[in-house]
Amino acid sequence: MQTQSIHPSYKPRRRLTVGTAFALSATIGLAGCSFDAGNDPPNTEPDSFKVMYYEEQSFYDQFGMLYSALHPNVAIDVISTNTIRQQETEDYQQALKQLIDEEQPDVLMLSETQYKEMAAEGRLLELDPLIERDNYDLEGVVPGLIDYIREQSDGRLFGLSPSFYSQAVFYNKDLFDNYGIPLPTDGMSWEQMLQLAQRFPTDGPEQARVYGLKAGYNTDLFQLGMMIGMSQGLNFVDSNNRQITLDTDSWERTYTMAADAIRSNTLYSEMNQSGTFNSTEDYLMHDPFIGGRLAMAVESSYLLDQLRQAKQHLGEKGVQNWDLVTMPADPQQPDKGGAMSVSTYFAINRNGANNEAAWKFIQYIHSDEYARVKSKSRSGGGFPIRSAYIKDDDGHNLAAFYKLKPGGNSMYAGYENLPADFINGFMSMATKELSVMIQEDAPVRATLASLEMQGQQMLDEAIAAEGADETAQAEGQ
């Protein structure tokens, strides 16, 4: 299929219009400010900049209305990337770069993969000189986040993100007290957490019994082992050399630990549960943690929001006495192990015509003031990058979401260097093989050696097929 070009006359832009002006009064009230001070001088030539975002209404909802309220003399043109997705194009990334080259937006909204690639290609403006020049305050940003972003771009900073996602370990204090089990702590290892989980009873019907730990939606052996191993810097594939690396002492220790936890029958799996909900109360109480049947849960801000709803709707029902600790730490690097991730980066197009206006916008949406305003609405998901606004009224340990530096590897790190068809096929095969290992009580090391051999064969075949496709496409041009 031939890649469809983006029509050069396409102008998916919008300045502040009547359609967005209606919402500005509420936005201004939320921000608690006026146009009289700290805003653009009334008689200056208006600034303008172009921003590339996936959908213009979403941009104004999340960023544009508030920024326009504070800066009425700034004209924002929104260039939507939705047009690329609506076209029949085989290479989205190439079409995105074509859109950037044709429209030259000043501010780019990028995924992590796009950020890494465009930083390496020299398409982005480095932010460090601007931060130093303007003495831009990054002190209040959660620990480790800036370092994490730098790691995606060879130690240099080409973008920022106004929010991040993370996980922590929620725990039910009453269950621990009832069974006389010590409470979990910040920085404990995976081995320590799994040992705590295995001290809870395992008897009773599935939908009524107590569980020690929920470590994901479907706690199969492959996923649990990957979660543990990658938090300690392991990876099952060397994406640069395209080699599967599972037959090692480190992976053997990891999967032995994970297999013991699976066999203990203390782990909760959503796949084994079912139910119908006739009310909000039924829906909330079905969650094993909210319902008081789960000692620990590895979860994101989603469970935090569910617990806030439970407080409103359930009263004295459900879990009452809960708190959080960090994700398990790497024993070799006790300050690492966090599950922090970033889904959206804002960067400045190096070839844009309005770099200063773009930088002012990026400064604001990553500022303390913006974080303060957005923390009141919690729209858009995730956490604000300013730690002062990650808190609740009950004093729960929300610092657990950012206290540890990100772990050694993302489960998806380097996947862009591998054939697109390989990963899903390998994960499916590995999940089945490890399930058989549990059922037949087969040796861990022998199973990992088999996975490495089969996985390498699958990867080599996928690489060969990819090369053949590229050759055929080149000959057809």
Average pLDDT by consecutive 10-residue portion of the chain (477 residues)?
Answer: 36 42 43 41 64 95 93 95 71 90 97 94 98 95 91 95 95 98 96 97 90 87 93 87 94 97 93 71 93 96 93 91 95 85 95 96 96 78 90 92 77 69 92 96 97 96 80 61
Same-domain pairing of 374 and 364? yes
> Up-side HSE of residue 323: CA atoms within 13 Å toward CB?
15
Same-domain pairing of 159 and 281? no
Q: Give the 3-state secondary structure of 164-217.
A: EECCEEEEEHHHHHHCCCCCCCCCCCHHHHHHHHCCCCCCCCCCCCCEEEECCC
Element (H, E) at 446: helix 444-476
Number of domains in the chain: 3
| 430 touches 213 (CB < 8 A) | no
Q: What pLDDT sits at residue 42?
A: 43
Same-domain pairing of 474 and 379? no
Phi-psi category of residue 144: left, alpha or beta, with phi > 0 → left and psi -120 to 50 → alpha: left
Look up residue 449 and give its two tokens.
């050696």
Domain containing 396 equals 18-165+341-406
CATH number of the domain at 295, please: 3.40.190.10
Q: What pLDDT sits at residue 413?
A: 62
Domain for residue 12, yes or no? no
Same-domain pairing of 174 and 310? yes
Same-domain pairing of 284 and 354? no
Rounded alpha-carbon distances, angstroms, from residue 74 to 71, 107, 128, 400: 6, 14, 24, 39
Same-domain pairing of 196 and 134? no
Q: Which of 338, 367, 392 is the last residue of a domain?
A: 338
Same-domain pairing of 128 and 193? no
Q: What pLDDT sits at residue 274?
A: 61
Domain for residue 35, yes or no? yes
Q: What pLDDT sits at residue 121?
A: 97
Same-domain pairing of 375 and 227? no
Same-domain pairing of 145 and 271? no
**Measuring CA to CA, which residue among 445, 450, 455, 433 is closest to residue 256?**
445
